[in-house]
Amino acid sequence: MEKVLAELQELIEYRSKYFEGNKEPKILAVGLSSRKNLCVHPMVADEGSRESVDARCMKLTAPWIRERASRDPGCEELCDWYEGLEAAGPSARLDPGVYTLKDLRNLGRKNKWCPYFLARHMIAFSNVVVFNYQYMIDPKVSNMVSREMEKECVVVFDEAHNIDNVCIEALRYVCIVCCSK
């Protein structure tokens, strides 16, 4: 994922250097990875496994936890970075450019914004998205993450060497479900 985004950065730099008169549209490219790879919350990021980071993050950002905390401040611990992103509202946008996971983490630390949720939000405005195929193929995940993607967005799958097996299994599951009815 990082390599694809770094190559895209080089391509854009090359085009802007050698095609100055060309007024091509600005590109926004983001990489979306797991919370484990994007989290900047010190206590959550150090959790260890992907599952424990996911669980801890959800404990700090879940709507019902945030609702309870708004009624009784101090009763719940919330994620300052998630709350910072939410407080920024519409101004929490990325300028055109190519953002690697490292760039998103640095930007998150600088602005006190959650890089994971920022990347998820920016998918709706991006021209290029690099992520694991499960963000688009898995119906539960894609419904949360990919549903608002631009129609003319280029998607690059990370870890796509397994995609054929996943698609075959998904098709097999659909066939089993349909045949059992």
Q: Residue 77's pLDDT band (boundaries 50, 70, 90)?
A: confident
Residues in the chain: 181
Q: What pLDDT band is residue 36 in, cutting at 50, 70 and 90? A: very high
H or E segment and range at residue 132: strand 128-132
Helix or strand or coil: residue 70? helix
Calculate mean pLDDT across residues 108-127.
93
What band does 27 get if pLDDT is binned at 50, 70 and 90?
Answer: confident
Distance, in Å, from the CA atom of 30 to the CA atom of 105, rounded to the nearest integer, reads 12
Place of tokens 């990021």: 45
Please give the pLDDT value at position 17: 78
Q: CA-CA distance, 137 to 170, in Å (whole number)? A: 9
Q: What is the mean pLDDT of residues 58-87?
A: 88
How does the average pLDDT of the chain come out, rounded?
84
Find the mean pLDDT for residues 142-151: 73
At 82, the pLDDT band (50, 70, 90 cuts) reads: very high
Is residue 127 within 8 Å of residue 29, measured between CB atoms? yes
What are phi and psi for residue 97, nearest 5 degrees? 155, -175
Over range 22-50, report the average pLDDT: 86
> Structurally, how many domains does the chain consist of?
1
Bridge partner residues of 157 (DSSP) = 131
Confidence of residue 57 (pLDDT cuts 50, 70, 90): very high
* pLDDT value for 25: 64
Q: What angle do CA 42, 43, 47 make, to 5 degrees?
A: 115
Instruction: Count CB atoms within 10 A of the CB of residue 125.
Output: 15
Is 80 within 8 Å of 103 (Cβ atoms)? no
Q: What is the pLDDT of residue 69?
A: 87
Indicate the pLDDT class of residue 56, thresholds 50, 70 and 90: very high
119 pLDDT exceeds 90? yes
Mean pLDDT throughout 45-61? 89
Domain range for 73 is 2-179
Q: In Å, how far are 4, 6, 103, 128, 160 from 155, measured between CA atoms?
A: 11, 15, 19, 6, 12
> Is residue 181's pLDDT more than 60?
no
21-49 average pLDDT score: 85
The DSSP H or E segment spanning 9 is helix 2-18
Share of the chain above pLDDT 90, in %: 36
